[in-house]
Amino acid sequence: MKLLLAFLLLAGTLTRAAEPPVYWLLWFDTEDYVEPASDDAALRLAQDLTQRGIRATFKIVGEKARVLEQRKRTDVLRALAAHDIGYHSNYHSIHPTPAEYLAPMGMLDGAAEFARREEQGLRDLQRIFGVTPSCYGQPGNSWAPQANLTLRQWGVPVYMDDGSHVAFDQQPFWYGGMLYVFNLGPHTMRTGLDNPAGLDTAKRSFDAAVAALRQRGGGVAQTYYHPTEFVTTEFWDGVNFRHGANPERSSWRMPRRRTAESSEQAYRLFLAFVDHVRQTPGVRIVTARDIPQFFEPRDSAAPPAAARRLAESIDAHDGHSAAELLLTLLGLPAQYVDGPLRRVDSNYAAAEIPRAAWVRAVADAADFVRQTHRLPDSVAIGSQRLSLPDFAATLAGVEPGAPVARVRRGRLDQEKRIGSNAAKLYDWVIHPAGFAPEGLMELARLQAWTLKPARLR
Ligand SMILES: [Zn+2]
C-alpha cells in the first residue's frame, strides 16, 4: 500500500514536471517625459513588483531616461534597474515617428536612418543602466521592418510589442532575424484599471489563455501597461502630438490626472491581477532577456523534403522559414539571411530553361547569398530573369539530372501573415489622419521570407 502510494506520488510529480511550460511576460512602456507624476508611478510599480519577487521588463524611451536624470530621480532609476530594461525609441511621439521617417525609404537606407535617429537613446540607456536593452518595441503602432536590421547590429535580440503588422499563430516567431513577441492575440491580456468588476473577467481570460497554451504544448502570454496610465486619464502624447502636431517643448500641456483614489484603485486592480498570475501553478514569470533561452536557436538547417514544398507554396514549412528552405536547395549552410530588397517580376519568356543555363543561375544565386547575406530580388537567366519566388519554386520542383528546368510560378502564401491594410495598421492618434505607409508594408511582405514560428525547447 505504502509502495503504491509512493508510486502514485511519484507519477503525480512526473506528470506535473512534464506539463507544457507557460511563460508570462509583464512589460511597461515607460515613456511619459511630460508629466512628472509618471516618474512616481514607475517607481511604485517597480518597487511593488520587486517586493513580490517579480521581474518585469521596462521598455524605456531615451528621453524619459534623460529626463529622470535631469530631475535627479535616482530613486526611480535604481528601482527600474532591478528589472529588465528594454528600449522604446528615442523620443516616442515627437514627429517624425519611426514609421513617418521610414515610410519613403527602402531597407538599407531605412536601417541607417533608424540608427541615426534612435541610437542616442540606446546609448543613453546603456550609460544609465549599464546594460544593453534586452528588447525593442515601437512607439504606438509606428512599426517599420527596417528597424530589425539595426536592432541586430546593436545586439538587441528581441522585438517585444503589440501590433498587427506581422503574425504567426498568435505565438512568438522569428522575423527579420529577431525573436518577435508580438501579435499574440488572446494570449495578450490585462485587467482594466478603472472597473473592479473587470478583474474577474481578466483573471478568467488569463486562465483560458494558460489552458489553451498548455493544450498546444506550452507557449507565451503577455500583459502590458504604461506607468503613466496609473496617474493620468489621458495619454501625455495624445494631448501634445495628436495627428501630426509638433508643438515646441515650452508649450507642451500636461495630461489630465487621476484623483488619488482613482490611482490607488488602479494599483490595487493591477496587483490583484498580478497576484492571480503569480499564484497560477506552472506559470513562469519571465523577462524579455530570459525569453530567447526557452526557444530553439534561430538558425537551423532545413531538410530537403521540407525545402521541396516551396514548389507549391512559398511559406514556412516544418518550422523553417522560406529563406532557410531556399538555402537548403542552394546547398548553403544554415544561417540567417534577409529577404529581398524589392519586388521584381519575371520576364523569362520560355517555359523551360536549358540545363547549363539553369546550373549557372543556381550557382549565381548561391554566390549572391554568400556575399550579401540576403536573398536576391531576382535571378538572371542570361539577359532575362526569374523573380525570386519563381526561381525558388522552379528550383524546388526541378528533377535531379533533368535536361531542362521547367519554370514554375511561386505562390507567395507567406505574405498572408503580413497585415494588409496600412491605414488601419498605422491608425494611431499621433500619426497624421489617413497615414497609410504602403511602402513599409511592401517591405514587410518582402521580409516574410525570414518568417517562421519560434519553437519552444
Ligand atoms: Zn509607447
The reply to whether 189 and 238 lie within a common domain is: yes
With the CA atoms of 404, 334, 439 and 407 taken in that order, what torsion angle do they form, in degrees rounded to the nearest 10?
10
The reply to whether 63 and 185 lie within a common domain is: yes
CB atoms within 10 A of CB 413: 15
Q: How far is CA 408 from CA 394, 431, 450, in A?
A: 5, 42, 21
What one-letter code names the amino acid at 207? D
The reply to whether 312 and 279 lie within a common domain is: no
- How many angstroms separate the alpha carbon of residue 214 from the centre of ligand 1? 30
The reply to whether 142 and 228 lie within a common domain is: yes
- How many angstroms separate the alpha carbon of residue 403 from the centre of ligand 1? 57
- How many angstroms separate the alpha carbon of residue 29 from the centre of ligand 1? 5
Per-residue pLDDT, 16: 52
Residues 6+ apart with CB under 8 A from 91: 61, 62, 63, 121
Structural domain boundaries enclosing 367: 304-335+347-406
- How many angstroms separate the alpha carbon of residue 31 from the centre of ligand 1? 6
Partners of 25 in beta bridges = 222, 286
* Domain count for the chain: 2
- How many angstroms separate the alpha carbon of residue 195 from the centre of ligand 1? 23
pTM: 0.95
CATH for 253: 3.20.20.370
- How many angstroms separate the alpha carbon of residue 213 from the centre of ligand 1? 27
Per-residue pLDDT, 375: 98
CB atoms within 10 A of CB 354: 14
Per-residue pLDDT, 17: 55
The reply to whether 39 and 136 lie within a common domain is: yes
Residue 437 located in a structural domain: no
The reply to whether 310 and 289 lie within a common domain is: no
The reply to whether 236 and 315 lie within a common domain is: no
- How many angstroms separate the alpha carbon of residue 235 from the centre of ligand 1? 10
Residue 111 located in a structural domain: yes
- How many angstroms separate the alpha carbon of residue 30 from the centre of ligand 1? 7
Find, among 422, 429, 392, the residue nearest to 407 by Cα.
392
- How many angstroms separate the alpha carbon of residue 442 from the centre of ligand 1? 24
The reply to whether 95 and 199 lie within a common domain is: yes
Per-residue pLDDT, 414: 98
The reply to whether 308 and 277 lie within a common domain is: no
Residue 13 located in a structural domain: no
| C-alpha of 415 from chain center | 17
Per-residue pLDDT, 69: 98
Per-residue pLDDT, 401: 83
Contact in structure between 82 and 54 (CB atoms under 8 Å): no
Q: What is the 3-state secondary structure (H, E, C) of the chain?
A: CHHHHHHHHHHHHHHHHCCCCEEEEEEEEECCCCCCHHHHHHHHHHHHHHHCCCCCEEEECHHHHHHHHHCCCHHHHHHHHCCEEEECCCCCCCCCCHHHHHCCCCHHHHHHHHHHHHHHHHHHHHHHHCCCCCEECCCCCCCCCCHHHHHHHHCCCEEECCCCCECCCCCCEEECCEEEECCCHHHECCCCCCCCCHHHHHHHHHHHHHHHHHHCCCEEEEEEECHHHHCECCCCCCCCCHHHCCCCHHHCCCCCECCHHHHHHHHHHHHHHHHHHHCCCCEEEECCCCHHHHECCCCCCCCHHHHHHHHCCCCCECCECHHHHHHHHHCCCCCCCECCCCCCCCCCCCCEEEHHHHHHHHHHHHHHHHHHCECCCEEEECCEEEEHHHHHHHHHHCCCCCCEEECCCCCCHHHHHECCCHHHHCCCCCCCCCCCCHHHHHHHHHHHHHCEECCEC
Count of positions (residues) in the chain: 457
Residue 4 located in a structural domain: no
Residue 207 located in a structural domain: yes
Q: For the chain, list residues with pLDDT below 70.
A: 1-18
Contact in structure between 112 and 53 (CB atoms under 8 Å): no
- How many angstroms separate the alpha carbon of residue 318 from the centre of ligand 1? 35
The reply to whether 251 and 325 lie within a common domain is: no
Residue 2 located in a structural domain: no
- How many angstroms separate the alpha carbon of residue 138 from the centre of ligand 1? 7
Residue 435 located in a structural domain: no
Residues 6, 11, 14, 19: is their CA dihedral positive or negative? negative
Q: How far is Cα 412 from Cα 418, in angstroms, rounded to an integer?
A: 11
- How many angstroms separate the alpha carbon of residue 311 from the centre of ligand 1? 41
- How many angstroms separate the alpha carbon of residue 205 from the centre of ligand 1? 24
- How many angstroms separate the alpha carbon of residue 237 from the centre of ligand 1? 9
The reply to whether 280 and 156 lie within a common domain is: yes
- How many angstroms separate the alpha carbon of residue 249 from the centre of ligand 1? 19
- How many angstroms separate the alpha carbon of residue 169 from the centre of ligand 1? 24
- How many angstroms separate the alpha carbon of residue 96 from the centre of ligand 1? 15
The reply to whether 217 and 326 lie within a common domain is: no
- How many angstroms separate the alpha carbon of residue 140 from the centre of ligand 1? 5
Residue 361 located in a structural domain: yes
